[in-house]
Structure 1
Amino acid sequence: MIAEPVHGTGYLPLYVGIQEGFFADEGLDVSTVTLQGGGAHTNAVLTGEAWAFIGGPEHNAFAAARGEGAVVVKAIANVVNRGNNYLVAAPGLEYDGDLAAFLDGKTIVTGAYGGTPNSVTRYLLQESGLDVSDVQIIESADAAAALAIVQQGQAEVAMVSEPILGRGVAEGIWEEPFLDVPEELGPYAYSTINVRQDSIDSDPETVQAFTRALVKSLEFTRDEPERAMEIAQAEFPTLEPDVLAATLERSYEDEIWEWSGAVSEEAVETALDVVRASEVLKDSGDPVQYDAIVDMTFVDAVGSAGE
Structure 2
Amino acid sequence: MRRRILGLATAVVTVAGAAGCGSSSAGSSSSAASADGKTTQVKVGIVPIGDVAPLYLGQKKGFFGDRGIELKMESAQGGAAIIPGVVSGQFQFGFSNTTSLMIAQTKGVPVTSVANGSATTGDTETDVSGVAVKKDSPIKSAKDLAGRTVAVNTLQNIGDTTVREAVRLDGGDPTEVKFVELAFDQMPAALDSGQVDAAWMGEPALTIAKGQGARVVTSPFAVTDPKLTLTTYFTSTQEAQKDPELVKNFAAAVTESLEYATAHPDEARQVLTEYTKIDGTVLKSLTLPLWPTAYDMASLEKLASLGEQDGLFGDKKPDLKALFP
Instruction: Report the equivalent of 2:134.
Output: 90
Paired residues of 2:262 and 2:291 also in contact (CA < 8 A): no
Distance 2:250 2:239 in 1: 12
Structure 2 residue identity aligned to 1:240 = D
Distance 2:180 2:238 in 1: 37
How many residues are aligned here?
A: 276
| Structural RMSD (CA) | 2.3
TM-score (norm 1): 0.81
Note closer, same or farther for the CA distance 1:208–1:103 as it changes in structure 2 (3 Å cut): same
Matching of residue 58 in structure 1 with residue 90 in structure 2:
no
Aligned-residue identity in percent: 20
Pairing partner for 2:261 from 196, 214, 221: 221
Query: How far apart are 1:13 and its partner, in Å?
Result: 0.9
Larger RCO, structures 1/2 (Cα 8 Å, 6+ apart): 1
Query: How far apart are 1:45 and its partner, in Å?
Result: 1.0
Distance 2:175 2:299 in 1: 29
Q: Secondary structure, in 3 states, of the residue corresponding to 2:95?
A: strand
Query: How far apart are 1:72 and its partner, in Å?
Result: 2.1
Distance 1:7 1:282 in 2: 30
Instruction: Report the equivalent of 1:289.
Output: 319
Matching of residue 257 in structure 1 with residue 296 in structure 2:
no
Query: How far apart are 1:121 and its partner, in Å?
Result: 2.7
Higher helix share: 1
Instruction: Report the equivalent of 1:192.
Output: 232
Note closer, same or farther for the CA distance 1:38–1:200 as it changes in structure 2 (3 Å cut): closer
Instruction: Report the equivalent of 2:51.
Output: 10
Distance 2:178 2:299 in 1: 29
Instruction: Report the equivalent of 1:78.
Output: 116
Structure 1 residue identity aligned to 2:244 = P
Instruction: Report the equivalent of 2:75.
Output: 34
Distance 2:167 2:298 in 1: 22
Structure 2 residue identity aligned to 1:109 = A
Paired residues of 1:104 and 1:134 also in contact (CA < 8 A): yes
Paired residues of 2:129 and 2:220 also in contact (CA < 8 A): yes
Instruction: Report the equivalent of 1:201.
Output: 241
Pairing partner for 1:145 from 165, 175, 186: 186
Paired residues of 2:129 and 2:221 also in contact (CA < 8 A): yes
Matching of residue 113 in structure 1 with residue 163 in structure 2:
no
Note closer, same or farther for the CA distance 1:25–1:72 as it changes in structure 2 (3 Å cut): same
Deviations 1:158-177 (A, max 9, x none): 111111001111122x12x2
Distance 1:37 1:228 in 2: 21
Note closer, same or farther for the CA distance 1:61–1:105 as it changes in structure 2 (3 Å cut): closer
Structure 2 residue identity aligned to 1:257 = L
Pairing partner for 1:266 from 279, 298, 323: 298
TM-score (norm 2): 0.77
Distance 2:312 2:79 in 1: 11
Paired residues of 2:99 and 2:157 also in contact (CA < 8 A): no
Pairing partner for 2:282 from 234, 243, 250: 243
Paired residues of 1:19 and 1:231 also in contact (CA < 8 A): no
Note closer, same or farther for the CA distance 1:270–1:19 as it changes in structure 2 (3 Å cut): farther
Paired residues of 2:113 and 2:235 also in contact (CA < 8 A): yes
Matching of residue 279 in structure 1 with residue 311 in structure 2:
yes
Pairing partner for 2:86 from 36, 45, 48: 45
Note closer, same or farther for the CA distance 1:73–1:137 as it changes in structure 2 (3 Å cut): closer
Q: Any unmatched runs of 5+ in structure 2?
A: 1-42, 121-126
Structure 2 residue identity aligned to 1:10 = D
Structure 2 residue identity aligned to 1:124 = A
Note closer, same or farther for the CA distance 1:96–1:65 as it changes in structure 2 (3 Å cut): closer
Q: Any unmatched runs of 5+ in structure 1?
A: 296-307
Instruction: Report the equivalent of 1:134.
Output: 176
Structure 1 residue identity aligned to 2:132 = V
Note closer, same or farther for the CA distance 1:287–1:280 as it changes in structure 2 (3 Å cut): closer
Query: How far apart are 1:197 and its partner, in Å?
Result: 1.7
Instruction: Report the equivalent of 1:24.
Output: 65
Query: How far apart are 1:227 and its partner, in Å?
Result: 2.2
